[in-house]
Amino acid sequence: MEWTDKLQAIIDYVENHLQRTEEPVNPDEISRLAGCSYSFFQKVFSYMNGISFADYIRFRKLTLAGYDLKSTQSKVVDISYKYGYESPTSFTKAFKQFHGISPAQSRNEDAQLKVFPKMKAAVTRQYSWRLISGAPFRLVGRRTKINCSNGQQYSKVPEFWSKCQKDGTIAELLAMDNGNPKGLYGLFGYFDEASETSDYMIAVESTQQADDGYNEILIPDTTWAVFDCRGAVPQAIQDGWKYLTEEWLLKYPFRHADCPELEWYSEGNNYDENYLSQIWIPIIEEK
């Protein structure tokens, strides 16, 4: 399930609990729907929407409480308990801060109340992305050093892929691939700021012993932000990196885990307009 789909499911869950079951929102259920810890979800929600999850729930409660006061004869004390306030006094204080008038005043015909509408997650994005937690896995491949100054990686990485295709490296790696699903990885390792160079590795997931000339690396258990890139490579994957560096990382400044960034290339025709490649960013999940 995509992250936006998860967010919409959580929003629907909140509305169902506020309007139908009239039960408190359960952090454990939010965590289950989000596929990550509750604290990490709260951070993502805040980055994506410019409002904390707690404030979103509170604003929705006070909006719905205003509807109840306007359309029913329910007592203020009953409405305060309905929306989880410990006392009518605490409810009245929160209501006045939000609406600017007291619950009693809200029942006047000319009283105007604020409305914080139910949020709707974006249906489409430039790039779909999701958070996944993966078990450790082992990569075997061939490594080189890439000059990243002035964007040279955008030409040097494809040159390395072309070289490995011509000398038979790609074919040998594919024969060792026992990943599920199968596919080739591009791995960005240690970056030297002084020389602006990065280790880059073309690899497959494999349990076979690495032959001479090949390197191996164990990718630890971590949380990944995974981005789907559709289209012919290398353009599709390069456009994906550009989106990450120029837009996504500015909007969602997660802490980077001590783990290489990965590219993943699926089986199939990599010149096809629907070809799937992915970018995996290792994320530190806040506790």
What is the set of domains in the chain, with CATH numbers? 3-107 (1.10.10.60), 128-283 (3.20.80.10)
- The count of residues in the chain is 287
> Token pair for residue 25?
């929102």
β-strand pairing of 197-205 with 183-192:
antiparallel
Place of tokens 């594919």: 174
Closest CA to 263 of 231, 226, 230, 232: 226
Per-residue pLDDT of the chain (287 residues; tens, 9 = 90+): 567 778 888 998 898 888 777 778 899 999 999 888 888 888 888 877 778 899 999 999 998 898 888 778 889 999 998 888 989 999 999 999 999 999 999 888 778 888 888 887 654 445 778 888 878 999 999 999 988 887 788 888 888 999 999 999 999 999 999 999 999 999 998 788 888 888 999 999 999 888 888 999 999 999 998 999 988 888 888 888 888 877 777 677 678 888 999 999 999 888 888 899 999 999 887 65
Report, in this order, helix, strand and coil percent for the chain, each rounded to 5: 45, 25, 35
CB neighbour list of residue 50: distance below 8 Å, 6 or more residues apart: none
